[in-house]
């Protein structure tokens, strides 16, 4: 059975370079793994305990939780917004962190990568994402890291899938995460 890796992208814009990275990860998934891009983060309302009650959870949040429950591992793609992760990603983590102690991350492997315009490629955002998702119950794979600087210029003309260096790095990221999800730490 194929290992299911859910890709969550922290940028909503159509031309997002992080989204392009996720598209490339879908293409480069090794035999036995399937990377599924989650559509619909924009529709998930801000987390609110008052609506996180039986019968009250918005459909978009239910869809997110169901996709996460069905996943064996998670691959986050985060740009950096003002020194940290975009709100859309934090909101998804908050929804997936509940019910407390029984959220969808549930000890499953999580890797966080991404690209940002700054010279460090968004490391603050990706570190903050690791911190939050670990607290939310994910098993963060700390040694899978990929922070690509200069997003806006590097990928202005070239899709990440067509960038030889990035393609190789992404292939390795997905293969290693697959290894963890498969129980055979790569
Ligand atoms: C609101 C906002 C804040 C940003 N803050 C940072 C930042 O703190 N560090 C950084 O490296 N880039 C920052 N950027 C630039 C983004 O990293 C860059 O535009 C990136 O490509 C956005 O990701 P995307 O291409 O997936 O949409 C910011 C962009 C926006 C829109």
* pLDDT per residue as tens digits for the range 87-140: 999 999 999 999 998 899 999 999 999 999 999 999 999 999 999 999 999 999
The number of the ligand 1 atom at minimal distance from the alpha carbon of 149 is 11
* Rounded Cα–Cα distance for residues 151 and 16 (Å): 9
Average pLDDT, the chain: 96
Ligand 1 probe mutation, 10, 17, 18, 81, most atoms within 8 A of CB? 81
What is the Rg, in whole angstroms, of the alpha carbon atoms belonging to the chain?
15
For residue 81, the CA-to-ligand 1 centroid distance in Å is 5
**Residue 120 near residue 149, CB atoms below 8 Å:** yes
The alpha-helical segments, DSSP class H, found in 43-163 are 59-70, 87-96, 123-135, 151-154
């Amino acid at each position: 059975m194929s290992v299911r890796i859910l890709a969550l992208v922290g940028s909503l814009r159509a031309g997002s370079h992080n989204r392009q990275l996720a598209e490339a990860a879908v293409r480069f998934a090794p035999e036995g793994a399937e990377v599924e891009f989650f559509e619909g983060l924009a529709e998930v309302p801000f987390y609110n305990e008052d609506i996180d009650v039986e019968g009250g959870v918005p459909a978009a949040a239910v869809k997110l939780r169901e996709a996460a429950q069905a996943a064996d591992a998670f691959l986050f793609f985060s740009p950096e917004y003002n020194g940290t992760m975009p709100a859309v990603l934090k909101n998804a983590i908050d929804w997936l962190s509940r019910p407390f102690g029984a959220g969808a991350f549930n000890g499953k492997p999580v890797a966080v990568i991404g690209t940002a315009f700054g010279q460090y490629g968004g490391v603050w955002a990706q570190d903050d994402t690791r911190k939050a998702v670990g607290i939310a119950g994910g098993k963060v794979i700390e040694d899978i890291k990929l922070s690509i600087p200069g997003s806006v210029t590097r990928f202005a003309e070239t899709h990440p899938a067509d960038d030889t260096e990035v393609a190789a790095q992404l292939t390795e990221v997905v293969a290693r995460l697959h290894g963890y999800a498969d129980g055979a730490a790569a």
